[in-house]
Amino acid sequence: MALTSSIGVGGQHARKRVEASLTGSGADVAGGGFRILLITGLGVAIFFLGAVLWSVIPDGIGYISDRGSAFFSERSSTRSAEFGIFEGIRGTMWIGIFVVVFSFPTGIAAAIYLEEYAKSNRLTRFIELNIRNLAGVPSVVYGVLGLAIFANRLDGFFPGSADRHLGSTTAAAGATLAILVLPIVIITASEAIRAVPRPLREAGYGVGATKWEVTRHHVLPYAAPGILTGTLLSLARALGEAAPLILVGGVTGRLGPRSGLFELEQLGEQFTALPLQIAELAKQPANSGRWTDATAAAIVALLAVVIIANTVAILLRNHFEKKRG
Amino acid sequence: METQRETMDTVLDEDMTEDVTLIDDEPDTASEPDTPDDLVFELDELNVYYGSFRAVRDVDMQVKSNEITAFIGPSGCGKTTVLRCFNRMNDLIETARVTGNLHYHGVDLYDRRVDPVEVRRRIGMVFQKPNPFPKSIYDNIAYGPRVGGLAKKGSELDEIVETSLRKAALWDEVKDRLKDSALGMSGGQQQRLCIARAIATSPDVVLMDEPCSALDPIATARIEELMQELKDEYSIVIVTHNMQQAARVSDQTAFFSVEVSSESDTRTGILVEFDRTEQIFSNPSDERTENYVTGRFG
């Protein structure tokens, strides 16, 4: 009896001591400050994103609804009320096709070789380092490269364009941007392949699969979501580039008479693209006609194209992630 | 699903041209040193290097068929490294290099003409952590036979899958959900699936690298039970951290230890003692083994 009561008293003391030490600490000032800093960063980003959309979308949507489908099907014009972005859409579309057809297979193949087949020696590391550096080279420099190689040396990179002394063709522009995104495709695909867990590869080799079988059946399916996301983001980047196109010789005025969207001959013709048209529209006088609205409308169109590319990337990634279980 | 199987089959057809033997031209076994039929592996002065670092030194050992051979020893003593030599898994590490002799039924496994892929079809492996493919239970088992060209028809494959799962004591638990993802199984089930996958290619040896280290005691007991059943058909080499496990399941035990060089401060794995399991645990001839198995060291 006496024993239990003394424990009770001791317990009372202990409870007070523990309570004091558990509740005594002051406010976490540094933590709170850090939190505010983080929220500020997020706020600044959201503010500017909102500002861009707010300044562009109402005007752009207004202009597009006034013009209707004519805005997308008409060609370039000197009158702001008649301007259409058909030629820009066509050019941007061909650039996208070049990137998908040339950069994706080449870049993914290079990444598979570097990660799965190449010996990890000094040469491989040197090559990897340089590909990383190439991905950081400003796009204008790629424009000079495209001008020198595809436009001048290869006469427009399309059969027949040399006879007409036309170097600045759609094909030259597409090839330039395909080269521009190639290092980015290689890097993102490499990273996706590198992230494949070692036990998965070992499981494949362990049951007697060859290197090719392990790569084809286990590594690539596992890496597919990452590869797809990276490559489609690089596509979005290519579609938004303007600087290299200016150097390769993009035209901002009205092009020749060709009117179809999918005519292969267009590859040997002069080109423009949505980013070039946006730059051109933005240079028009703001106080005459509806040039500002037309600029906003073209921006909305380009944003839509890029958002569609990104959405497809996310949907494909989710699809493949579900498949890999 | 169907299209996947079709593409697999086309891969298979290409593989069918491969020779089924380890070496293209069959070596004249008469000229080889006499190998008793019950010997699976013979190691003679086996050394493993990672770059210039010698990880394991001078291992001599004879592994008998239809027995369970356990490798025990403290961390870093090279038991896993030696195990991974048995199916050329160390080939995947670029800097790894093996010297000395490692004979499998009298054939030098590190002969230049030996195809490591063929080696791994005969010598299966179960890894430390269960590593099922992110595919269905069925496809996990069927993958090895498919790439190995063991089954041409779907019905043959079905049979292999069922037999393998039965041998791994997993059939009754999964027979109604063969198309479900293997990743939805419990850890113990996944490891038994990996054992079923390893025996689906009809190997001769199954290597197990600490197969129970990620499992609870009940799942561990099931796997140990399974090993006893499997040893009628297969030779098993198991690496384990758990001395009781080695004592319970194995017929022979190899005790590895670490030799620290005082000049170069490098740690090299050595084989201290290799004997019948009863001998190792009750009457070891080396003092270091005795210290280890009685818990005074490691």
Across the interface, of B129, B134, B144, the residue whose CB is closest to A222 is B134
Which H/E stretch holds residue A305? Answer: helix A291-324
Q: Which chain B residues have a beta carbon less than 8 Å from that of A208? A: 117-118, 120-121, 144, 147-148, 201
Taking the C-alpha atoms of residue B269 and residue B252, their distance in angstroms, rounded to an integer, is 19
Taking the C-alpha atoms of residue B9 and residue B1, their distance in angstroms, rounded to an integer, is 12
State in words which class domain B2-119+204-293 has: alpha beta
A209–B11 C-beta distance less than 8 A: no
Kindly report the number of other CB atoms within 10 A of residue B19's CB atom: 11
| pLDDT score recorded for residue A38 | 96
Q: Inform me whether the C-beta atom of residue A209 falls under 8 Å from chain B C-beta atoms.
A: yes
A202–B92 C-beta distance less than 8 A: yes
- Give the three-state DSSP class for A208: coil
User: Could you please report the per-residue DSSP string of A189-204?
Assistant: HHHHHHTS-HHHHHHH
Bridge partners of residue B47, in order along the sequence: B99
- Kindly identify which residue of chain A lies nearest to residue B199, measuring between CA atoms: A207
| pLDDT score recorded for residue A7 | 52
Residues in chain A: 325
What whole-number percentage of chain A has pLDDT above 70? 95
How far is residue A222 CA from its own chain's centroid? Answer: 21
Q: Which chain A residues have a beta carbon less than 8 Å from that of B134? A: 200, 221-222, 324-325
Domain ranges of chain B: 2-119+204-293
Q: Which chain A residues have a beta carbon less than 8 Å from that of B182? A: 325
DSSP secondary structure code for residue A174 in this structure: H
A199–B117 C-beta distance less than 8 A: no
Kindly report the number of other CB atoms within 10 A of residue A50's CB atom: 10
- Kindly identify which residue of chain B lies nearest to residue A211, measuring between CA atoms: B117
- Kindly identify which residue of chain A lies nearest to residue B118, measuring between CA atoms: A208
B197–A208 C-beta distance less than 8 A: no
| pLDDT score recorded for residue A101 | 94
Q: Which chain A residues have a beta carbon less than 8 Å from that of B198? A: 206-207
B92–A207 C-beta distance less than 8 A: no
Across the interface, of B8, B118, B131, the residue whose CB is closest to A200 is B131
Tell me, what's the ipTM? 0.84
- The distance of B121 to chain A (nearest Cα, Å) reads 5
Domain ranges of chain A: 57-324
| Residue of A114, A123, A207, A320 to mutate, testing the B interface (most B Cβ within 10 Å of its Cβ) | A207
| pLDDT score recorded for residue A164 | 73
Cβ proximity of A157 and A172 under 8 Å:
yes
Q: Inform me whether the C-beta atom of residue A125 falls under 8 Å from chain B C-beta atoms.
A: no
3.40.50.1000, 3.10.129.10, 3.40.50.1100, 1.10.3720.10: which CATH number matches A57-324? Answer: 1.10.3720.10
- The distance of A211 to chain B (nearest Cα, Å) reads 9
Alpha helices in chain B (DSSP H): 2-16, 79-86, 116-122, 137-148, 154-167, 171-174, 187-199, 217-230, 243-249, 277-282, 287-293
Q: Which chain A residues have a beta carbon less than 8 Å from that of B151? A: none
B144–A207 C-beta distance less than 8 A: yes
Which H/E stretch holds residue A188? Answer: helix A170-194
Q: How many CA atoms lie within 13 A of B142 on its CB side?
A: 25
Bridge partners of residue B181, in order along the sequence: B136
Q: Which chain A residues have a beta carbon less than 8 Å from that of B148? A: 207-208
| pLDDT score recorded for residue B4 | 47
- Give the three-state DSSP class for B70: strand
Residue-by-residue pLDDT tens, chain B, 298 positions: 444 444 444 444 444 444 445 665 544 444 445 556 688 999 999 999 998 889 999 999 999 999 999 999 998 899 999 999 999 999 888 889 999 999 999 999 999 999 999 999 999 999 999 999 999 999 999 999 999 888 778 889 999 999 999 988 899 999 999 999 999 999 999 999 999 999 999 999 999 999 998 888 888 898 899 899 899 999 999 999 888 999 999 999 999 999 888 777 788 999 999 999 999 999 999 999 999 988 876 5
Taking the C-alpha atoms of residue A139 and residue A179, their distance in angstroms, rounded to an integer, is 10
Q: Which chain A residues have a beta carbon less than 8 Å from that of B187? A: none
What does the pLDDT average to over A127-156?
A: 91
Q: Inform me whether the C-beta atom of residue A320 falls under 8 Å from chain B C-beta atoms.
A: no
- Kindly identify which residue of chain A lies nearest to residue B150, measuring between CA atoms: A208
Q: What are B's interface residues with A at a Cβ cutoff of 8 A? A: 8, 11, 15, 87, 89, 92, 94, 117-118, 120-121, 124-125, 127, 129, 131-135, 143-144, 147-148, 181-183, 194, 197-198, 200-201
Taking the C-alpha atoms of residue A129 and residue A135, their distance in angstroms, rounded to an integer, is 10
| pLDDT score recorded for residue B25 | 52
What does the pLDDT average to over A93-110?
A: 94
- Kindly identify which residue of chain A lies nearest to residue B122, measuring between CA atoms: A208
Q: Which chain B residues have a beta carbon less than 8 Å from that of A205? A: 89, 92, 120
| pLDDT score recorded for residue A286 | 82
Cβ proximity of B137 and B182 under 8 Å:
yes
What does the pLDDT average to over A6-25?
A: 76
Taking the C-alpha atoms of residue B140 and residue B160, their distance in angstroms, rounded to an integer, is 12
Q: Which of A12-26, A89-103, B70-84 has the lowest mean pLDDT?
A: A12-26
Kindly report the number of other CB atoms within 10 A of residue A56's CB atom: 17
- Give the three-state DSSP class for B203: coil
Taking the C-alpha atoms of residue A210 and residue A224, their distance in angstroms, rounded to an integer, is 20
B127–A208 C-beta distance less than 8 A: no
Which H/E stretch holds residue B258? Answer: strand B252-260
Q: Which tens digits make up the pLDDT trace of A192-242?
A: 999 999 999 999 999 999 999 999 999 999 999 999 888 988 999 999 999
A217–B200 C-beta distance less than 8 A: no
DSSP secondary structure code for residue B91 in this structure: G
A208–B117 C-beta distance less than 8 A: yes
Kindly report the number of other CB atoms within 10 A of residue B27's CB atom: 15
Whole-structure pTM value: 0.81
| pLDDT score recorded for residue B75 | 86
Q: Which chain A residues have a beta carbon less than 8 Å from that of B97? A: none
- Whether residue A6 is predicted with pLDDT greater than 70 in this model: the reply is no
Categorize the per-residue pLDDT at A319 as very low, low, confident or very high, splitting at 50, 70 and 90. Answer: confident
